[in-house]
Amino acid sequence: MQVLRADEMGMCFGVRDALTTIGRVADPTAVTIHGELVHNPEVLAMLDRRGFHRADEARRGVPGTPVVLVTAHGVSDRERERLTAAGKQLLDTTCPLVQKAHAAAKELAAEGRRVVVIGRADHVEVRGLVEDLAAPIVVASEAEVLPWPERRLGVVSQTTTPVALARRIVARIRAENPHADVREIDTICGPTKARIEALAALLPRIDALVVVGGHGSNNTRQLVQRGEAAGLRTLHVEHAGELQPAWFVGCRVVGLTAGTSTLPRTIDEVASWLGRLESAPVRGSA
Ligand code: SF4
């Protein structure tokens, strides 16, 4: 069995820079990570071992530590003000591309547009985006698009939204709101686009696909959906320990990709497991 890696995969610069900042924290016990830093159980376990506190995903209440770390997903201005008013020092690791999405939403609102955010309402980044907006609309699918009364609409996307989905939703918004002037600002991040494009190039060359990443990771799930939509046997694992030889019976070429919060070490471990399988007798393995 041959293993082909996607040209672009795994950890993005936003997550890597956030982890670098975290790695420099001298006293983790004085810091609360405000929400899930990355959707990667291995990294979260490492943070727990170092002694960081973690707020729950809902990020309610005021953390007890003097320092609060804002994750790469970002928070609203309102949330920043709430924390600083409570005397907290903020350690900000918001990804610059998430900051651009916030700036785009504010620009559209300043033009007098009602802002439509493409994404899941419960996604932490979407919550940060909408909290500073008046009467925002959040849509996750074409079916959720309605005719709205406003004559000016603005559209942004959660940064890891699949490009094709965003295009379909924007087209539906225009079709359902012919009376409105609709302006879209593309806020889908470059690393996400690059990973999807690299996977698209890989799909015609493989018999099965292994996607490495957290089960709670939005962008990892999208990679899995792309493999499944192409009709491929697609396996989603968080680490090499979940792989089983029986899954690869009959495969000649397996593709490998990974979500943006997957550690390079985890990808290498999966690749090495698959590489060893290459020379192992596959048929009949348990
Ligand atoms: S996925 Fe994109 S927006 Fe999110 S942290 Fe990575 S680079 Fe930034």
**How do the pLDDT tens digits run along the chain, 286 residues long?**
899 999 999 999 999 999 999 999 999 999 999 977 887 888 888 999 999 998 876 667 889 999 999 999 999 999 999 999 999 999 999 999 999 999 999 999 999 999 999 999 998 899 999 999 999 999 999 999 999 999 999 999 999 998 999 999 999 999 999 999 999 999 999 999 999 999 999 999 999 999 999 988 888 988 999 999 999 999 999 999 999 999 998 888 999 999 998 999 999 999 999 998 864 444 444 3
Choose the residue to mutate in 9, 36, 159 for probing ligand 1, maximizing ligand atoms within 8 Å of C-beta.
Answer: 159
pLDDT at position 36 is 77
CA of 149 to the centre of ligand 1 (A): 33
Q: Are 270 and 213 in contact (CB under 8 A)?
A: no
- Is residue 142 flagged as an active site residue? no
106: Cα separation from own chain's centroid: 22
Neighbouring C-beta atoms of residue 275, cutoff 10 Å: 13
pLDDT at position 59 is 67
Residue 127 Cα distances to 58, 114, 138, 200, angstroms: 10, 16, 10, 30
Residues with CB under 6 A from ligand 1: 12-15, 72, 95, 97-98, 159-160, 189, 191-192, 260
Tell me the two tokens of residue 169: 């939703």
Q: Are 212 and 238 in contact (CB under 8 A)?
A: yes
CA of 37 to the centre of ligand 1 (A): 12
Tell me the two tokens of residue 233: 């046997």
In the chain, list all ranges with CATH 3.40.50.11270: 13-95
Please provide the DSSP assignment of the chain as one string: -EEEE-SS-S--HHHHHHHHHHHT-S-GGGEEEES-SSS-HHHHHHHHHHT-EE--TT--S--SSSEEEEPTT---HHHHHHHHHTTPEEEE---HHHHHHHHHHHHHHHTTPEEEEES-TTSHHHHHHHTTSSS-EEESSGGG----S-SEEEEEE-TT--HHHHHHHHHHHHHH-TTSEEEE-----HHHHHHHHHHHHHGGG-SEEEEES-TT-HHHHHHHHHHHHTT-EEEEESSGGG--GGGGTT-SEEEEEE-TT--HHHHHHHHHHHHHHHTS--TT--
Neighbouring C-beta atoms of residue 67, cutoff 10 Å: 17
CA of 29 to the centre of ligand 1 (A): 26
- The closest residue, in CA terms, to atom 8 on ligand 1 is 14
- The closest residue, in CA terms, to atom 7 on ligand 1 is 14
Distance (Å, rounded) from C-alpha 21 to C-alpha 132? 26
pLDDT at position 148 is 98
CA of 12 to the centre of ligand 1 (A): 6
Choose the residue to mutate in 9, 15, 126, 129 for probing ligand 1, maximizing ligand atoms within 8 Å of C-beta.
Answer: 15
Name the fold adopted by 2-9+190-278.
Cobalt-precorrin-4 Transmethylase; domain 1 (3.40.1010)
Neighbouring C-beta atoms of residue 216, cutoff 10 Å: 15
pLDDT at position 57 is 62
CA of 73 to the centre of ligand 1 (A): 8
Choose the residue to mutate in 8, 11, 13 for probing ligand 1, maximizing ligand atoms within 8 Å of C-beta.
Answer: 13
In the chain, list all ranges with CATH 3.40.1010.20: 2-9+190-278, 97-184
Residue 172 Cα distances to 23, 108, 166, 167, 193, angstroms: 44, 19, 10, 9, 21
CA of 79 to the centre of ligand 1 (A): 20
- The closest residue, in CA terms, to atom 2 on ligand 1 is 189
Return the bridge partners of 91, or none: 69
Q: Is 13-95 in CATH node 3.40.30.10?
A: no
φ, ψ at 76 (rounded to 5°): -75, 165
Name the fold adopted by 97-184.
Cobalt-precorrin-4 Transmethylase; domain 1 (3.40.1010)
Q: Which of 125, 150, 184, 238 is catalytic?
A: 125
Can you tell me which atom of ligand 1 is nearest the CA of 13?
7
pLDDT at position 250 is 87
